[in-house]
Amino acid sequence: MPEAIVELRNAHIYQGDSVVLSDVNITVNRGEFVYLVGKTGTGKSSLLKTMYGDLDLMEGEGTVVGYNLRQLNWKIIPFLRRNLGVVFQDFQLLTDRSVNNNLKFVLKATGWKDDKLMDEKIADVLDKVGLKTKGFKMPFELSGGEQQRMDIARAILNSPKLILADEPTGNLDPETSDEIMKLLFSISRDYGTAVIMATHDYMVIQKFPARTIKTERGKVYDNASIATS
């Protein structure tokens, strides 16, 4: 039986006091790759933030990587986030330290103590994302595509069950964008990591087809056709 990594049932997603999405029913299983599409302002980011514990789930039921979203508090959220990887469009890298030290910062922040184990883990993820020789570089010395790879390396440090990617190819040229997509699909396939990727880029979806969830007029449509967008 497939392992559900994200399960939302009759969920209402709020932004402040306003309901942005009502009656949301979604299941995403282990190793599944899912696109999240929809016009700006239709609730994509709010949906991701609810999964990430940034917005409270006020109505309905929801579990993400085994954590009940209705029971989250400041003590539990760090444990939820250890099982998640988040990839942003604007990278959010620490500009004052090297690639290795960016990654070490995340490991320490999530409870790692042993320097040798941390170094081994960092070498492993940099190899996976094709940055094996770039650990000593500063973020500004990397290309946009390399910075996005570094962001993905950071997201997979704690072997997450789920990656939430918000427009990860938004600022990249088509060739680099293809490389990042291949990397995300390979992580999903090789590690059994579920990936939910918000995107506006329909060319990417046509090139790398997968299940598509669409936010539109306050609702969520699963297995949506994007041809009409």
Q: Does residue 197 fall inside a structural domain? A: yes
pLDDT of 229 strictly over 70? no
Do 53 and 111 fall into the same domain?
A: no
Q: Which domain holds residue 127?
A: 88-144
Is there a single domain that holds both residue 113 and residue 79? no
CB-CB contact of 47 with 24 (8 Å): yes
- Pair (77, 166) in one structural domain: yes
Predicted pLDDT at 226: 59
Task: State whether 72 and 164 are in the same domain.
Answer: yes
- Mean pLDDT check: name the lowest of 50-54, 167-171, 185-189, 210-214: 167-171
Q: Are strands 18-29 and 4-15 parallel, antiparallel or unpaired?
A: antiparallel
Residue 228 binned pLDDT confidence (cut-offs 50, 70, 90):
very low
What pLDDT score was predicted for residue 26? 95
pLDDT, greater one: 183 or 92: 183
**Helix and strand totals (H; E) in the chain:** 7, 10
Task: Compute the distance between CA of residue 99 and CA of residue 95 in angstroms, rounded to an integer.
Answer: 9
Q: Tell me, yes or no, whether 164 lies in a domain.
A: yes
Domain end point (choices 111, 144, 177): 144
Q: Answer with the residue of higher pLDDT: 114 or 200.
A: 114
Q: Is residue 131 pLDDT above 70, yes or no?
A: yes
Domain co-membership, 30 together with 99 = no
Q: Do residues 131 and 101 both lie within one domain?
A: yes
Q: pLDDT band for position 91 (50/70/90)? A: low
Contact 205, 225 (CB under 8 A): no
Would you say residue 59 lies in a domain? yes
Whole-model pTM: value is: 0.91
Distance (Å, whole) CA 30 – CA 177: 24
pLDDT range class, residue 98, cuts 50, 70, 90: very high
Q: Is 9 helix (H, G, I), strand (E, B) or coil?
A: strand
In a domain, 27, yes or no: yes
* Domain annotation covers residue 226: no
Co-location of 8 and 115 in the same domain: no
Residues 76 and 168 in one domain: yes
118 with 179, same domain: the answer is no
Residues 67 and 179 in one domain: yes
- The answer to whether residues 16 and 51 belong to one domain is yes
Query: Is residue 63 a part of any domain in this protein?
Result: yes
**Are 216 and 170 in a shared domain?**
yes
Contact present, 160 and 110 (Cβ < 8 Å): no
Domain count, the chain: 2
